[in-house]
Amino acid sequence: MNIDHVAIVVNDVDKAASHYKNILYVHEVKFETIATEGVKLAILKLNNARIELMEPINDDSPIKKFLEKNGEGLHHIALETNNINNTIQNMNNCAIKFLGNVRTGSENTKIIFIHPKSFHGVLLELCEYAK
């Protein structure tokens, strides 16, 4: 598996993106809104992975609740798999707990979240790119 992205919750995605861009000299930044998750993203492309900055766009967004409770900070780590359904099946055999079902994430990936209790307190995402 590869680390695909590290996701960070921020108050203002435009400001945060220009900060990251300027300080880290990231040239490629893409913005995307995922209405179903209630977030606006800034995707910063590094050489080997991405950083996703996430700002909630409505009060129902789970990211909004996270921000109110914890403030800005690390939200999840995403691992890329070639076949998300196979990975889910294997993990189910190990009694790993998933949060919800497979859905569409950033850049049209198929994603699913894994309960932090199944990974030592870290929220993990699995993602698969369209082939």
Q: What is the distance between the alpha carbons of residues 63 and 131, in angstroms, rounded to a whole number? A: 29
Question: Which is closer to Co ion, CB of 63 or CB of 96?
Answer: 63
Q: Applying CB under 5 A, does 7 fall inside the site for Co ion?
A: yes
Distances from the Cα of 5 to the Cα of 15, 72, 76, 77, angstroms: 20, 17, 8, 6
In whole angstroms, how close is the CB of 106 to Co ion at the nearest point?
Answer: 6
Whole-angstrom Cα Rg for the chain: 15
Residue 58 has what DSSP assignment? S
Distances from the Cα of 35 to the Cα of 32, 57, 67, 68, angstroms: 10, 8, 18, 20
Residues 29-58 that bind Co ion (CB under 5 A): none
Q: What is the distance between the alpha carbons of residues 29 and 50, in angstroms, rounded to a whole number? A: 10
Question: Which is closer to Co ion, CB of 16 or CB of 78?
Answer: 78
Q: Applying CB under 5 A, does 125 fall inside the site for Co ion?
A: yes
User: Binding Co ion by CB under 5 A: which of 16, 43, 63, 78?
Assistant: 78
In whole angstroms, how close is the CB of 81 to Co ion at the nearest point?
Answer: 13
In whole angstroms, how close is the CB of 65 to Co ion at the nearest point?
Answer: 17
In whole angstroms, how close is the CB of 18 to Co ion at the nearest point?
Answer: 21
Residues within the interface to Co ion (CB under 5 A) = 7, 78, 125
